[in-house]
Amino acid sequence: MAAPPLLTLQDTALTFGGTPLIERAELTVSPGERACLVGRNGSGKSTLMRIAAGLVEPDRGVRFVQPGTTIRYLAQEPDFSGFPTTLAFVEAGLTPGDAHYRARYLLESLGLTGEEDPTKLSGGEGRRAALAQALAPEPDVLLLDEPTNHLDLPAIEWLEQELRGTRAALVLISHDRRFLSALSRSTVWLDRGITRRIEQGFSGFEAWRDAFFEEEERDRHKLDRKIAAEEDWLRYGVTARRKRNVRRLGNLHALRQARREDRRPVGSVTMQTSEAEGSGTLIAEAKEVSKSYGARKIVDRLSLRVTRGDRLGIVGANGAGKTTLLNLLMGGIAPDSGTINLGTNLKPVILDQARATLEPGMTVTDVLTGGRGDTVTVGGQSRHVIGYLKDFLFSPEQARTPVSVLSGGERNRLLIARALAQPSNLLVLDEPTNDLDLETLDLLQEMLGDYAGTLILVSHDRDFLDRVVGSVLVSEGEGRWVEYAGGYSDMVAQRGAGVQARSVEKAKEAPRAEPRERPAAPAGKSKLGFKDQHELKTLPERMGKLEAAITQLRGILADPDLYARDPARFEKASATLAQAEGELAKAEDRWLELEMLREAAEA
């Protein structure tokens, strides 16, 4: 007998304004679940997640949570108000029975010290603090809405490993294909207000979705043909058999009603670039270029040549200097030493990560036209701005909408729409994939593949890099940048490792926080005896074995069918895991105690 679900949504409906956002949504979260929730931007994924978290009341439907089940929800926009430090914010999410050391452990693992002021966090730092708060209690159910947004590659890969080892059931919303493929074992698709589920991870979803759309289109074609045949009968074939004719006429009205009520998929994004005259062969050449800010080296003696048609990806941890490097290559800032030579006839279009070029008070139309009329020139042809906006999934009603009320995904689509309308032979894109849905990512990738100019791309999306770039420039630390042929996966294969996390400067300025309060050294004892020395030497190996055993046990318990298939094994694994975690905590405390004695003896 399968274990009962921890969380269930049945026949859920919610309407904002006229058209229902969610009509018939179902969600079942069982122990050990690994599900991804997918759908177009604006389809209601985040709203459904908030309903599951108990934060939004639907118009209709049943939400059931097993008694005693703990649920943690990661919102896209966490609220840090009222907390003096990031540690206080994370600890506020803990309950009396939770291990408080996990708050510091998770913050440190994510590159924070716990002493940061939450009101002064960057987007990436805020996301890390919110993740720490969601993960710290080790809940039964984790609802994560875009957990990889604003994270760099080391943090994304760390998060993957952490979630693989968790016992919590997972429901994920993300635009990161590789992240979803690595973690999901089932997929819930929210489309036109209705959920459909397949017992496959995200890697099998897109083929299934395309087959579904093809079958739907065939059914729609059959319906249209049947309506056409019935209308032909109505015009030419009515006879005196009134009773049968009335019934057939009623059937025709029902068919027409079914066609009117048929909600088709939201239109797809259409992307077309305005290409300028070709540039020279050379785009940019750096010779022994160096750039530092104070004692910190951003670029150290870099030599790089970018030629026409190149597809260059730039990757590195947050703070490695990717945006500074872009500005150097584009001539926006001068190097401390070395030379930068730019090619001839360059017409670059630069898409900045911060979206600083969008003024909140401007309307969507003004952003595209510059406030001059209602037309925009794309590819040498004049188009009405409403038609061009439809290509990027904006409704006619949004044409006069202020930028300030747009969502993150809508702002990004608008910036891309404006960038592609400008004639260019060089595209410089700094994190273009942020907040885009998967279908828009596909079309952006196709557009970049057909683009005849040169592309320089900064991104943390591993799958997107693999699909788009021809070489990768990666930060090796201390200002060193090395170029590798191929995409991100090729770089990892050649280098033997992915992008490494940059050491956090804040952590160097303040004493490093311990995962838990350090135990006091025993009074009156100033040096280690032989037994203590041996124990200090062997403890790290023992802790490593315990950590490996814990990871293995968590992997066993992550099987959602284990309890139903073998309850005895489930109980044994749970008890063994609790014992191993307790032994590991004691071993860590003992190691800290002995390490303090060793430090005191050396002093």
pLDDT at 503 exceeding the cut of 50: no
How large is the average pLDDT for residues 146-166? 89
Is 322 annotated to bind a ligand? Reply is yes
Is 42 annotated to bind a ligand? Reply is yes
How large is the average pLDDT for residues 279-308? 89
pLDDT at 570 exceeding the cut of 80: no
- Which fold, 7-207? Rossmann fold (3.40.50)
> Of 406, 408, 459, 410, whose CA–CA distance to 177 is shortest?
459
How large is the average pLDDT for residues 549-565? 74
Is 45 annotated to bind a ligand? Reply is yes
> In CATH terms, are 7-207 and 282-505 the same topology?
yes
Q: How many Å apart are CA 357 and CA 159, to the nearest integer?
A: 32
pLDDT at 201 exceeding the cut of 70: yes
Is 321 annotated to bind a ligand? Reply is yes
Q: How many Å apart are CA 499 and CA 477, to the nearest integer?
A: 10
Is 245 annotated to bind a ligand? Reply is no
Is 211 annotated to bind a ligand? Reply is no
Is 43 annotated to bind a ligand? Reply is yes
Kindly tell me the burial class for residue 528, based on how many C-beta atoms sit within 10 Å of its own C-beta (0-12, 13-18, 19 or more). Answer: middle
Is 149 annotated to bind a ligand? Reply is no
Is 316 annotated to bind a ligand? Reply is yes
Q: Are 338 and 286 in contact (CB under 8 A)?
A: yes
Is 339 annotated to bind a ligand? Reply is no
Per-residue pLDDT at 197? 94
Is 361 annotated to bind a ligand? Reply is no
Is 477 annotated to bind a ligand? Reply is no
Helix (H) or strand (E) holding 261: helix 242-261
- Which fold, 282-505? Rossmann fold (3.40.50)
Per-residue pLDDT at 184? 94
Is 228 annotated to bind a ligand? Reply is no
Q: Which long-range contacts (CB under 8 A, 24 or more apart) does 248-255 make?
A: 252/227, 255/223, 255/226, 255/227, 255/230
Look-up: residue for tokens 């609790």? 578
Helix (H) or strand (E) holding 13: strand 7-15
Please tell me which residue, 238 or 438, carries the higher pLDDT value: 438
Q: How many Å apart are CA 256 and CA 223, to the nearest integer?
A: 9
Is 317 annotated to bind a ligand? Reply is yes
pLDDT tier at 401, thresholds 50, 70, 90: confident
- Give residue limits of the domains in the chain: 7-207, 282-505, 530-602
For the chain, the maximum distance between any two Cα atoms, rounded to a whole number of angstroms, is 113
Is 18 annotated to bind a ligand? Reply is no
pLDDT tier at 518, thresholds 50, 70, 90: very low
How large is the average pLDDT for residues 548-568? 74
Tokens for 504, please give them. 């956090």
Q: What is the pLDDT of residues 330-366, one digit of tens each?
A: 888 899 999 999 988 888 888 776 555 678 788 888 8
pTM above 0.85, yes or no: no
Tokens for 110, please give them. 């994510």
Is 72 annotated to bind a ligand? Reply is no
What does CATH list as the number for 530-602? 1.10.287.380
